[in-house]
Amino acid sequence: MNRYRNDFPLLQQTNDKNLTWAYLDNAATTQKPTVVLDTVADYYRKANANPHRGAYDLSVAATRALEEAREKVRVFISAGKAEEIIFTKSATESINLVAASWGKTHLAAGDEVVLAVSEHHSNLLPWQAAVRDAHAVLKYMYTDECGRIPDSEIESKISKKTKLVAVAHVSNVTGVINPVEQIIQKAHSVGATVLVDGTQSVPHMPVDVSALDADFYVFSAHKMLGPMGVGVLYGKAELLDDMPPFLYGGDMIEYVEEQNASFAPLPQKFEGGTQNVGGAAGLAAAIDYLNAAGMVNISGAEHDLTGYLLDQLKRIPYLRIIGPDENSGRIGVVSFIIEGAHPHDVATILNADRVAIRAGHHCAQPFMHYLGVQATCRASLYLYNTGSDIDRLAESLKGVRRWLGHGA
């Protein structure tokens, strides 16, 4: 995958030591290739107008850009209908939309919502609010010591009382690929609805929401080479049709009277206000880039690179991997701790060597507590990373304890 690195301007920047970035924080956000940057700039230079609201050429071009992006998203995740693709500002907003809108009309006292304990706060806090408002119950599927959800948890926690299951396709802490097919099948067998957080899966592997039979599926553009400020909600049309609007305002109405209103059909019903058309165009360009690389190729190359990353980390004294240390059933998101070194100190020391990793609780505090750690370091890979990035990470990590005065 080395050939892709030259497409990313930020990765060509050097500091006063002539070091480029070994950027290993891709689970948080990804860098943008030139084609995405140019597409966003070209939209604002050549087609900037409000979509759906004008008969003049610029507005028509803006509408075309938005709807072509919607169609590219539909094809990319194998959704059945374009109207099942809702643009939001983030995956977080997408989950909040479902929790507020679907939750308002489908959750009642005594109902149960089931999450994995490993969920990102974005797929936890909205459900805390939803069950509190409905006087429902929040239950958790707990993982084993490696962060994998056992079959017994799926079978015992999802019951006839379950109304919704919300689970990440891939953990942003351990990189574990959760058994979403099994979870969806079990949930549907008891009549429950399923929301899948695909923020760590869609960028790294082929995803087919129709084959999964997911009811809702969410992800963010900025984690897949696209701009910040654009999220996607996929939802089955029959579910979305039955849900009330989430944001009220322009472009989501059919007709407004002084005391009442009727609302536009999907997808506009959930897209109140002016959409981020430039961002959607950038997402479309990112999808084109990923398709040209090939999602199967990306997944395979990242698998090999993850194996190399794990091997290098396991050779470093005083380092412990949090989650599985084998290269199966996972993606290239690896959390670890170094004995005697706080993760924030580790990340700061690595920054001096132009190595970028994440440090903290990764917006998964209940999972951190469950695993018995307060924070971890996290290195995460994408298609532009190379073996030399991992070598620089490993070499820098070897000096952390000496830098902190431990002597080795």
Same domain, 96 and 174: yes
CB distance 100 to 125 below 8 Å: no
Same domain (yes/no): 273, 328: no
Q: Are residues 302 and 278 in the same domain?
A: no
End-of-domain residue from the set 275, 291, 307? 291
Kindly name the residue from 176, 218, 363, 377 that is annotated as catalytic.
Answer: 363
Residues 181 and 301 in one domain: no
CA atoms within 13 A on the CB side of 118: 26
- Is residue 303 classed as helix, strand or coil in its secondary structure? helix
- The domain spanning residue 352 has which CATH number? 3.90.1150.10
Last residue of a domain, one of 291, 306, 341: 291
Catalytic-residue membership of 363: yes
Domain housing 371:
2-25+294-403
H or E stretch covering 286? helix 277-293
For residues 118 and 256, membership in a common domain is answered with yes
Tens of each residue's pLDDT in the chain, 408 residues:
678 999 999 999 999 989 999 999 999 999 999 999 999 999 999 999 999 978 999 999 999 999 999 999 999 999 999 999 999 999 999 999 999 999 999 999 999 999 999 999 999 999 999 999 999 999 999 999 999 999 999 999 999 999 999 999 999 999 999 999 999 999 999 999 999 999 999 999 999 999 999 999 999 999 999 999 999 999 999 999 999 999 999 999 999 999 999 999 999 999 999 999 999 999 999 999 999 999 999 999 999 999 999 999 999 999 999 999 999 999 999 999 999 999 999 999 999 999 999 999 999 999 999 999 999 999 999 999 999 999 999 999 999 998 998 876
Place of tokens 């599926």: 217
Q: What is the DSSP letter of 148?
A: P
Q: What is the CATH number of the domain that holds 202?
A: 3.40.640.10
Q: Is residue 38 part of a domain?
A: no
Give this prediction's pTM: 0.98
Question: Quick one: 308 and 356 in the same domain?
Answer: yes
- In-domain check, residue 342: yes
Has residue 298 been placed in a domain?
yes
Residue 105: inside a domain: yes
For the chain, the domain total comes to 2
Q: Are residues 266 and 339 in the same domain?
A: no
Residue that finishes a domain, picked among 291, 323, 352:
291
For strands 355-356 and 112-116, give the pairing. unpaired
Does 67 map to a domain? Answer: yes
Shared domain for 340 and 198, answered yes or no, is: no
